[in-house]
Chain A
Amino acid sequence: MQPDELTAQPEVAAASTDMSVARHAAAGLSELLNTDTVRLHVHASTPNEVIDRAGGLLFAEGGIEKRYIEAMKGSLVANGPYMVIVPGLVLLHARPEDGAVELCMSLITLDPAIPFGNPDNDPVTIAIAFAATDNKGHLDALASLTTLLGNETAMATLRASDTVERALAAIRAGSGPEPSVSGSVTGGMRNAAG
């Protein structure tokens, strides 16, 4: 990775071949999350059920093998509450070699909220599951999520969405391309000084 490319001015990067990189990263979330991979008001009783539901969407898409769902449950046991990375949101994933078939992502909102054991960030109302076939895809997916999760307006709209279309619109609105283009990852719930 050339530092020069990554720190190029957004307008220069957009004009160059980096546009394909930007489009890939920006289109990432909006393409991965669609009417087949987003479900609202999912009812689950336990964290494992949440994983079954979110993972089931990935499996139905052909993005993962069945064993990846079990691997995500194993990851939950190993990392547990740390996967509830920001208040109300859990990030579910395993490693590429655990049965990832292609880059995929699903998002479900939970009703009622489910505690995962994180005293600071419980209970969970949004579960995002994803898989990638290599480390780069994995990190790109995380970077795209960073943008969305750092956009408080988009996240609030997403949480309040009562239709999948509205949820997808909030995701599109919150997934702007710029941070990926500039290469600066300063996301987070508090976007203050950046």
Chain B
Amino acid sequence: MPQVKVTIQRGAGLHARPAAEFVKLANRFAAASSVRLNGRQANAKSILGILSLGANRGSEVELEVDGVDAERAMTALRDFLATASE
């Protein structure tokens, strides 16, 4: 099960708009995906799960992806988090 550590650079972190966009992105893929921070794990396809992680800019999270399109999902999700918003 591919796992990758990412330091969040997007916006102020996984709140409000970035969280909604991240979840939308995760839902585009068949693969299951999760984000882990400080021992807590949230389903990346669930806005509530992501919001209650409280991941801020600078937080290092662990992305875990599993499924048919896992590689593409992993790349997309990792790049989303690692890239400062335009």
Q: Which residues of A contact B (CB under 8 A)?
A: 1-3, 6-7, 78-79, 82-83, 85-86, 135, 138-139, 142-143, 145-146, 149-150, 183-190, 193-194
Contact = CB atoms under 8 A, between A and B. Distances in A.
Interface of B: 16-17, 19-20, 32, 38-43, 45-49, 51-54
Most B-side CB within 10 Å, residue of A3, A85, A138: A85
A189 to B, nearest CB: 8
Contact of B39 (A7, A85, A142, A143): A7
B68 to A, nearest CB: 15
A185 B54 CA distance: 11
A185 B52 contact: yes
A112 B46 CA distance: 27
Contacts of A143: 52
Contact of A188 (B38, B48, B53): B48
B59 to A, nearest CB: 12
A155 B34 CA distance: 24
B51 A142 contact: yes
Contact of A187 (B16, B19, B46): B46
A146 B20 contact: no
18 contacts: A1-B39, A2-B39, A82-B16, A85-B47, A138-B54, A139-B54, A142-B52, A143-B52, A145-B48, A146-B51, A150-B48, A184-B40, A185-B48, A185-B53, A186-B43, A186-B46, A187-B52, A188-B48
Contacts of B20: 82, 85
Contacts of B47: 85-86, 188
